[in-house]
Every structure is written in structure tokens, then in C-alpha cells.
């Protein structure tokens, strides 16, 4: 696989990717999958921000994520490598009954995955922020 790094943010994305992949595999109960995730050059991305390929029988998957540099500057949402990763990982739960892209079911599935990925990442960071902390979640000595 080819890595292309052109900025410090891109370098940070590359460093954090294996860590967040493992974290989200654990959170999403996907540790029984052998999953590789890469930041891929735009020519491999087919105009997508993320792509996932899987073999359901072998539980093997490969995830490609657009680089920060190739992410459209006029996109409606800011670049979030974690949200893209979670989105692609969620596709693995839908893989046994995957709906075809371009169909009504495919669109509904994509919207559901988008909403769930957005909510999960938002909840993670809400829980990490001081505003998200509750009395029960305060660390004890």
C-alpha cells in the first residue's frame, strides 16, 4: 500500500490510525476481524472519503481513507479521520445483508451508518470533555 504524506496533520493521521482502528474494533465488537486501514492516494478513492472491502467468510477487511490533503475543502463536514474509519467499520456489521449502492435500501443503509458513526464519535468526545464528565465518571484517587 502506498502512503502519501504532505503535511504534519497527515503524519499525525497516519500515526493515530492503527491506534483508533484497534480502539474502535474493540468498541464495535469487531476484534474477530482482521482489518487493515490505510490512508490512500486520491486516485485509489473513487471520489469517496472512505472505502471498505471485505471477505465475510474469512472476516478480513481493508479500509481506505482519503488523506486530509485530498479531502474536499468545500465539503459540508470538516475532515474527521475517526468518523470516516467508524463509518467504514460499521459497514462490516451490515455486510451479511449489504444493500446495493444507488438503491433505496442502499441509501437508507448509508444514512443509518452515517448517523451512527457521527453519534458514536460525538459521544466519545463529549465523554472526554469536562462538560461531558459526570460525578460518576470523575476519577478517584
Q: Closest CB to Zn ion among 13 and 88?
A: 88
Say if strands 60-66 and 34-40 run parallel, antiparallel, or are unpaired.
Answer: parallel
Q: Closest CB to Zn ion among 62 and 110?
A: 110
- CA 61 to CA 52: how far, in whole Å? 7
Q: Closest CB to Zn ion among 39 and 92?
A: 92
C-alpha cell read off for 71: 479531502
Residues 42-101 interacting with Zn ion (rule: CB under 5 A): none
Can you tell me whether residue 28 is helix, strand or coil? coil
Q: Closest CB to Zn ion among 10 and 50?
A: 50
Residue nearest to Zn ion (CB): 110
Distance of closest approach, residue 99 Cβ to Zn ion, in angstroms: 11
C-alpha cell read off for 66: 482519503
Binding map of Zn ion across residues 99-118, x = CB under 5 A, - = no contact: -----------x--------
62, β-bridge pairs: 36, 53
Q: Are 13 and 81 in contact (CB under 8 A)?
A: yes
54, β-bridge pairs: 61
C-alpha cell read off for 76: 459540508
- CA 101 to CA 75: how far, in whole Å? 21
Kindly state the number of chain residues that form the binding site for Zn ion, as judged by CB under 5 A. 1
Residues 23-42 interacting with Zn ion (rule: CB under 5 A): none
Q: Closest CB to Zn ion among 108 and 126?
A: 108
Distance of closest approach, residue 50 Cβ to Zn ion, in angstroms: 7
The footprint of Zn ion (CB under 5 A) covers 110
Amino acid at each position: 500500500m502506498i502512503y502519501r504524506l504532505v503535511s504534519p496533520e497527515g503524519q499525525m493521521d497516519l500515526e493515530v490510525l492503527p491506534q483508533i482502528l484497534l480502539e474502535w474494533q474493540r468498541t464495535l465488537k469487531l476484534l474477530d476481524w482482521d482489518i487493515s486501514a490505510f490512508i490512500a492516494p486520491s486516485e485509489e478513492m473513487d471520489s469517496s472519503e472512505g472505502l471498505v472491502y471485505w471477505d465475510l467468510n474469512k472476516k478480513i477487511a481493508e479500509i481506505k481513507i482519503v488523506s486530509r490533503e485530498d479531502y474536499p475543502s468545500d465539503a459540508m463536514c470538516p475532515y474527521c479521520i475517526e468518523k470516516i474509519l467508524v463509518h467504514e467499520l460499521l459497514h462490516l456489521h451490515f455486510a451479511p445483508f449489504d444493500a446495493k449502492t444507488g438503491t433505496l435500501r442502499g441509501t437508507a443503509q448509508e444514512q443509518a451508518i452515517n448517523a451512527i458513526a457521527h453519534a458514536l464519535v460525538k459521544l466519545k468526545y463529549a465523554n472526554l470533555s469536562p462538560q461531558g464528565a459526570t460525578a460518576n465518571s470523575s476519577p478517584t484517587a
